[in-house]
Each structure stands twice: as C-alpha cells, then as structure tokens.
C-alpha cells in the first residue's frame, strides 16, 4: 500500500487514524487490509492535505507574469 502511494511504511502507519480511518488487521502478522475505495480515499487525502500532491507544472515567465500585467524584459 505504501509503495502504491509513493510513501514509506512508517509514514503510512503515522498518518493512519489521523488522515484516514485505521484499516482492519488480519492474520497472526496483523497485516492491514485496504479496499480499493480506501486506497483512493487515502490518495485523495494525501494530495489535498500534504505536500505529496501532484508535481508542479513549470510555466514560462510570460505566462507567470500575465496575471500581474508584467512584461518580461530581455537581458542585455
């Protein structure tokens, strides 16, 4: 599960119960079992509430300056 989400197992255990409901544990090893719905909910929560969201998209200087009506000037 942690690998699917791109986080470590320690991080998954740490946020369990905080960002999402604890998963039921099964067997003598107490392995956590997640449903596909839980996986999507956890993924969505991580994107919204942590820095683990989508990678930033790079934009050009002109596009970044447009909302402030700035003009890009050439050097030189």
* Residue 53 belongs to some domain of the structure: yes
Burial of 40 (0-12, 13-18, 19+ CB in 10 A): exposed
Domains identified in the chain, total number: 1
Residue 58 is assigned to a structural domain of this protein: yes
**26: β partners:** 31
Tell me if 74 is assigned to some domain: no
pLDDT band at 21 (very low <50, low <70, confident <90, very high): confident
Distance CA 13, CA 5 (A): 13
Statement: the pTM of the whole predicted model exceeds 0.75: no
Q: Has residue 11 been placed in a domain?
A: yes
Q: What is the pLDDT of residue 75?
A: 59
Parallel, antiparallel, or unpaired: how do β-strands 25-26 and 31-32 relate? antiparallel
Q: Is residue 62 part of a domain?
A: yes
| Residue 25 C-beta-side C-alpha neighbours within 13 Å | 7
73 falls within a domain: no
Domain boundaries, position 11: 2-68
Assess whether pLDDT exceeds 80 at residue 55.
no
Evaluate whether residue 76 is within a structural domain: no
Q: What is the pLDDT of residue 61?
A: 78
Contact (Cβ atoms closer than 8 angstroms) between residue 19 and residue 42 = yes
User: Does 46 have pLDDT greater than 70?
Assistant: yes
pLDDT higher at 56 or 47: 47
Asked whether residue 9 is assigned to any structural domain, the reply reads yes
Q: What is the mean pLDDT of residues 20-49?
A: 85
């Amino acid at each position: 599960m942690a690998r699917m989400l791109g986080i470590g197992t320690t991080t998954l255990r740490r946020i369990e119960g905080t960002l999402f409901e604890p998963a039921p544990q099964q067997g003598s090893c107490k392995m956590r079992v997640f449903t596909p719905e839980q996986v999507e909910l956890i993924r969505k929560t991580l994107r919204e509430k942590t820095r683990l969201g989508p990678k930033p998209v790079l934009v050009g200087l002109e596009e970044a300056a447009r909302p402030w009506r700035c003009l890009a000037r050439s050097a030189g």
